Structure 1
Amino acid sequence: TPIAGGEFVALGHQEIASLSPDDAGPTVHWVVVTQIHNALIELDENFEPQPVLATAMPEVSEDGLTYTFTLHEGVLFHDGEEFTSEDVKYTYEWYMNPDNAAVSANNFASVESVEAPDPYTVIVNLSEPNAAFFALVASTFIVPAHYHAEIGEDAYKSAPIGTGAFQLEEWRAAEFTQLVAFEDHFRGRPNLDGYRLNVVPEASVRAIALETGDADNSVWPLVTEDDLRLTESGQFTTFVTSSLAVNHFPLNNTHPILSDKRVRQAMMFALDRQAVIDDIFSGAATLATANLSPAMGDFYTADVAEYPYDPERAAALLEEAGWVMGGDGIREKDGERFSFVCTVITGDQARRPEAEVVQSYLLEVGIDMQIEEAPVATILERMPAGEMDASLYNWTYGGDGADPDASTVLASDANNNFSSFRNERVDELLALGLTELDPTARAAIYHEIQQIVAEEVPFLFMMYWDLFTHFSNRVQGLPESALSSDNINPLANQWWIDESGS
């Protein structure tokens, strides 16, 4: 029987720079944003679409161009105002407006218009069929029109109001986010009184907090040996899932040195990626072959250009590109040394050692990769602007909601095109992939995208982590199993704390 009261404490690895749905790309942002907001349709822990603000799945016209949603009545925002179709219309049109330069704008490329004929009906009209409609459009969190329009997106980032089970009490980006139960939540008040996320960059400190009972969950992986130890301890409910986000080094494709495809290919051959997996991540990862994870099933293909560890091949490609070994062991071309900066996330214990190993592999073939640190918000702003050479983090290039679309990251005009990658054929394929509804034909499109990514190497694709997600035994109401550990988080309105379980 659910028990009322208590607070759930989660741990994040980096600052939560914004509480806006449009900035919810990083997992640590998303787990908080999803407590505050709801969408018409949300994907459950097994990637199945479930109606939330909508009463049921929408009616879809035969031509696949019109989706009609019926909304729940009497749903309240945290300020007491009623949620209606006007809020859906406002939210979607905000993303559709190019003046807003929304990160998720590409998700709405096929949306022609949004109608609100009455307070509880929304009609979404598409210009062409969209195979990813549920995963990318209908799952967009709704903001209140009356409030967002008044204060604007920048102010909203720190003062969000949604329909979610929890509302914001206090937010300090680099320290914590404190949420409290929303008494009038439309599905009923949550069992928990509070949901708190503390920012603890050091993975080892997060592990200690879990073991001592100071926290219930870490939304970002620990170091692998701690993950394995906690899994076997009997103190936790642990979900092990396959990551859909590629662990990668985005490279600025407009950089004078890194703009040469042969150079990028050489860097791939210079790396013993399987050794990195075995030595840094205790083998708990799968080697990446391009932008999509093997967990994507039929959308994935292994039939791509391969990059086994081959430093001689790397050296030959660098020579071909005009980079000859200098007296100090660093290659030179036209009087310039082959040197660039990789900016890693401040305090990133899990990935900093990976960057250092890659640094040593590159040095062996005459490439000088310097390592610097910066906050994640700085990196996510400066990489797509072409103002950094390279970085290291995990990101989804197709896989959000188990859908292979990568328009927000691989399209030439995408706001999250971290590597400044421009490829006309990829742009064509991304557009085709959204309008193709036949699964086999659609898979072939994404296979070709992977083949181009593997050939062009816009970024150094390293691996897909095995994700270990631990919940303290005192947390009850969790699902039996999950394909997506991230998508367990929207279920917090159902959880409860039972101290006898810990």
Structure 2
Amino acid sequence: MYKKLLACGMALLMCGCSAKAAGNDQVLTVGLSSEMNGTFSPMYYQTTNDSYVVDLVYQGLLKYNKKGELVADLAKSLPEISEDGKTMTFKLKKGIQFSDGSKFTSKDVQTTFTVMADPSYTGRFANNVDFLDGYSEYHDADASSFTGVETPDNYTVVFHLDKPRIDAVSTLGTQKICSSEYLNYKKGKTENIEKKNSKPIGTGAYVLKKFEKTSGASLVSNSKFKAKKGQYQISKIMIKKTDTSTEVKELENGT
């Protein structure tokens, strides 16, 4: 039964994707049953379709490997956790750049989580930060800083939890990180950040080159991303809405 389900799943997957070589480029075209909204921010996206672009453009401190295990991504390793389970410390990798050339540091992590704690934040991920120390003081009162996220130096981030939480490592670790410099965040003014949701800047393997609701999203390799040998050999990805009545024909044609 499991093998039958797996075979069916693979068949469905292949009906939505095609790959071809264009010169020296490897191009992957992904067909969707509905349009993307174009909200490509890890703090604001609403749909699964938009999340595909988010996952290609951004990275978290941690990620899941093919075995479903949490492993380091922007962090050097899994976090160090205090005995009481209320303090979590990440050491960050050095030498990483966002696609615009700016350096990745602990300030980017702090800003990403602080935006989600902001009183003017309208996204759906406030529950990713509301269990951190100082959330109420920052979100509901006049605190000028979010004490739940501490940055002792440029490559260390310390999360302070109000109480131990079994999913804290996965919740905090897999949150995709945005560029502090690009966001230019000011407390109470997250509407300025929302205006940038369709123009993502991340540290991930791909950069969004173009997006239109009707034609979809076009992504290319991020020249600032240091891929391991043999990984991310696809240089261009096209994600578009495909008519279900013609998708098999498009797959055969490589479009």
The TM-score with structure 2 as length reference comes to 0.76
2-structure distance, mates of 1:199, 1:77: 28
How far did 1:157 drift? 1.2
Q: 1:158 to 1:148 in 2, by over 3 A?
A: same
Q: 1:28 to 1:56 in 2, by over 3 A?
A: same
2-structure distance, mates of 1:138, 1:22: 14
Q: 1:68 to 1:5 in 2, by over 3 A?
A: same
Alignment of 1:35 with 2:35, yes or no, is: no
SS of 2:169's partner is helix
What per-residue deviation string (whole Å, max 9, x for no partner) do you get for residues 129-165 of structure 1?
1211233222111000111126932222111100011
| One-letter amino acid of the counterpart of residue 152, structure 1 | N
Asked if the contact 1:20/1:157 (under 8 Å) is kept, the reply is yes
Instruction: Tell me which residue corresponds to 1:90.
Output: 111
2-structure distance, mates of 1:26, 1:173: 14
Alignment of 1:79 with 2:79, yes or no, is: no
| One-letter amino acid of the counterpart of residue 237, structure 2 | Y
How far did 1:171 drift? 0.9
How far did 1:65 drift? 0.7
Instruction: Tell me which residue corresponds to 1:209.
Output: 250
SS of 1:38's partner is coil
SS of 2:184's partner is helix
Alignment of 1:5 with 2:16, yes or no, is: no
Instruction: Tell me which residue corresponds to 1:147.
Output: 182
SS of 2:103's partner is coil
Q: 1:23 to 1:204 in 2, by over 3 A?
A: farther
Instruction: Tell me which residue corresponds to 1:127.
Output: 162
Instruction: Tell me which residue corresponds to 1:16.
Output: 36
SS of 1:170's partner is strand
- Equivalent residue runs for 1:478-493 within 5 Å: none
Of 165, 173, 187, the residue aligned with 2:227 is: 187
SS of 1:7's partner is strand
Mark the structure with the bigger radius of gyration.
1
What per-residue deviation string (whole Å, max 9, x for no partner) do you get for residues 23-78 of structure 1?
43422111111110000011234432121000110101111111100111010001
| One-letter amino acid of the counterpart of residue 154, structure 1 | E
Asked if the contact 1:43/1:135 (under 8 Å) is kept, the reply is no
What per-residue deviation string (whole Å, max 9, x for no partner) do you get for residues 271-300 of structure 1?
xxxxxxxxxxxxxxxxxxxxxxxxxxxxxx
How far did 1:174 drift? 3.3
Instruction: Tell me which residue corresponds to 1:458.
Output: none
Asked if the contact 1:76/1:186 (under 8 Å) is kept, the reply is no
Instruction: Tell me which residue corresponds to 1:196.
Output: 238
2-structure distance, mates of 1:88, 1:5: 33
1-structure distance, mates of 2:91, 2:167: 20
- Equivalent residue runs for 1:158-237 within 5 Å: 158-187=198-227, 190-200=232-242, 202-214=243-255
Asked if the contact 2:99/2:223 (under 8 Å) is kept, the reply is no
| One-letter amino acid of the counterpart of residue 43, structure 1 | Y
SS of 1:87's partner is helix
What per-residue deviation string (whole Å, max 9, x for no partner) do you get for residues 189-245 of structure 1?
842221111122x3233333224332xxxxxxxxxxxxxxxxxxxxxxxxxxxxxxx
How far did 1:86 drift? 0.3
- Equivalent residue runs for 1:353-432 within 5 Å: none
Unaligned runs of 5+ in 1: 215-502
| One-letter amino acid of the counterpart of residue 165, structure 2 | N
2-structure distance, mates of 1:38, 1:172: 24
Superposition CA RMSD, Å = 2.0
2-structure distance, mates of 1:22, 1:199: 24
1-structure distance, mates of 2:173, 2:65: 13
1-structure distance, mates of 2:41, 2:131: 23
How far did 1:106 drift? 1.2
Q: 1:204 to 1:133 in 2, by over 3 A?
A: farther
2-structure distance, mates of 1:78, 1:169: 11
- The total of aligned residue pairs comes to 211
Instruction: Tell me which residue corresponds to 2:72.
Output: 51
Asked if the contact 2:35/2:240 (under 8 Å) is kept, the reply is no
**Ranges of 4+ aligned residues in structure 1 off by more than 3 Å:** 186-190
1-structure distance, mates of 2:85, 2:244: 46
2-structure distance, mates of 1:179, 1:58: 32
| One-letter amino acid of the counterpart of residue 194, structure 2 | D
The TM-score with structure 1 as length reference comes to 0.40
What per-residue deviation string (whole Å, max 9, x for no partner) do you get for residues 410-450 of structure 1?
xxxxxxxxxxxxxxxxxxxxxxxxxxxxxxxxxxxxxxxxx
Identity within the alignment, %: 28
SS of 1:76's partner is coil
| One-letter amino acid of the counterpart of residue 169, structure 1 | K
Unaligned runs of 5+ in 2: 1-20, 134-147, 186-190
